[in-house]
């Protein structure tokens, strides 16, 4: 049972499998896998490993965020942290109960309901116990749920941050690629140079470095390396750029001409986006002036008259 069986699914592009790991189909999990997985991975991790179809999004986020983990090991650790948080919540609830008892708050509690029965009588006679149980349960549930969902969606937030960074930097990276190509550098060397310029191009450089790693470490050709980078990038914009570049390579087109056209297109899109942002900022500033400068002045003049 290799880890590649539980990796990210590549996006629908009409391309062949590029070596990026695939999720197993739910019906591919055999009954005998359950015992085998428990022996190999333990009870908690095997529980998640036997249910890959429920965590496809998480595995994709982990891959795109470059966490280097399978979803099952990540969720196993999340479950451990959640249980520790629940224990902390119980301790916090009990500690708060003790403080409330000493302050006399618990003794002053009364039944807000008109119903009177054996349960309410029991709770009234054991206010400290009932308060402690309630606060312990609430604390455990709140902290455990917070830790669990926080860790579950944390990779997604990282992916969103990487996507925004890529989209902002990509037009400048493409311009740099065009300059290198115009100077006579071949495409692999261009991608290697961009991938090494992490201080300048940030997450875009990391995406290109992945393609270089596929070529240099795993022995893939450049086309396959670009396909794999395309399948795992969190940015739809960079994904489209890779699609167009792969089409040019597949058809034997001129890469320099392609990069020149892409430079004009992406820089124009960046200018349009900046213009839209400045127009929005101008509108917000006018609203601010009207609400917080002109309106108070008008109110003051009306009151004095």
Question: What mean pLDDT do residues 107-114 have?
Answer: 62
Per domain, the residue ranges of the chain are: 164-279
Please say whether the beta carbons of 244 and 174 come within 8 A. no
**Chain length of the chain:** 305
**Distance between alpha carbon 99 and the CA centroid of its chain, in Å?**
40
SS3 sequence of the chain: CCHHHECCCCCCCCCCCCCCCCECCHHHCCHHHHHHHHHHHCHHHHHHHCCHHHHHHHHHHHHHCCCCCCHHHHHHHHHHHHHHHHHHHHHHHHHHHHHHHHHCCCCCCCCCCCCCCHHHHHHHHCHHHHHHHHHHHHHHHHHHHHHHHHHHHHHHHHHHHHHHHHHHHHHHHHHHHHHHHHCCCCHHHHHHHHHHCHHHHHHHHHHHHHHHHHHHCCCCCHHHHHHHHHHHCCCHHHHHHHHHHHHHHHHCCCHHHHHHHHHHHHHHHHHHHHHHHHHHHHHHHHHHHHHHHHHHHHHHHHHHC
- Look at residue 305 and tell me whether its pLDDT is greater than 60: no
Can you give the pLDDT at residue 124? Answer: 64
- Look at residue 130 and tell me whether its pLDDT is greater than 80: yes
Can you give the pLDDT at residue 170? Answer: 93
What are 6's strand-pairing partners? 23
Q: How many CB atoms lie within 10 A of CB 241?
A: 25
CA 163/CA 153 separation, integer angstroms = 15
**Residue range 18-29, pLDDT digits in tens:** 334 444 444 455
**Residue range 38-81, pLDDT digits in tens:** 767 778 888 888 888 899 999 999 999 999 889 999 999 999 99
CA 143/CA 183 separation, integer angstroms = 58
- Look at residue 7 and tell me whether its pLDDT is greater than 50: no
Tokens found for residue 190: 């261009």
Please say whether the beta carbons of 174 and 262 come within 8 A. yes
What's the whole-model pTM score? 0.74
Please say whether the beta carbons of 241 and 191 come within 8 A. no
- Look at residue 163 and tell me whether its pLDDT is greater than 90: yes
Can you give the pLDDT at residue 26? Answer: 43
Can you give the pLDDT at residue 102? Answer: 85
CA 286/CA 297 separation, integer angstroms = 15
**Residue range 221-244, pLDDT digits in tens:** 999 999 999 999 999 999 999 999
């Amino acid at each position: 049972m290799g880890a590649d069986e539980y990796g990210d699914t590549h996006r629908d592009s009409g391309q062949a499998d590029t070596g990026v790991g695939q999720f197993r189909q739910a019906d591919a999990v055999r009954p005998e896998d359950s015992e085998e997985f428990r022996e190999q991975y333990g009870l908690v991790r095997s529980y998640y490993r036997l249910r890959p179809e429920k965590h496809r999004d998480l595995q994709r986020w982990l891959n795109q965020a470059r966490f280097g983990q399978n979803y099952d090991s990540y969720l196993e650790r999340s479950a451990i942290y959640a249980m520790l948080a629940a224990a902390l919540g119980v301790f916090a609830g009990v500690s708060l109960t003790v403080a409330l008892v000493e302050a006399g708050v618990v003794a002053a509690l009364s039944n807000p309901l008109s119903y009177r029965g054996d349960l309410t009588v029991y709770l009234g006679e054991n206010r400290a116990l009932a308060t402690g149980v309630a606060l312990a349960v609430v604390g455990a549930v709140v902290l455990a749920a917070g830790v669990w969902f926080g860790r579950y969606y944390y990779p997604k937030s990282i992916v969103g941050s990487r996507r925004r960074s890529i989209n902002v930097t990509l037009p400048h990276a493409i311009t740099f690629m065009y300059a290198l190509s115009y100077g006579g550098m071949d495409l692999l060397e261009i991608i290697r140079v961009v991938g090494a310029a992490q201080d300048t191009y940030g997450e875009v450089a990391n995406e290109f470095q992945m393609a270089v790693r596929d070529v240099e470490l795993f022995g893939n050709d450049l086309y396959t390396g670009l396909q794999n980078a395309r399948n795992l990038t969190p940015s739809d914009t960079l994904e489209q750029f890779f699609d167009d570049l792969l089409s040019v390579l597949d058809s034997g087109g001129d890469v320099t001409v392609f990069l020149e056209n892409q430079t004009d297109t992406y820089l124009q899109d960046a200018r349009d986006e900046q213009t839209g942002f400045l127009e929005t900022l101008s509108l917000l500033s006018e609203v601010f002036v009207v609400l917080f400068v002109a309106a108070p002045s008008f109110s003051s003049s009306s009151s004095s008259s």
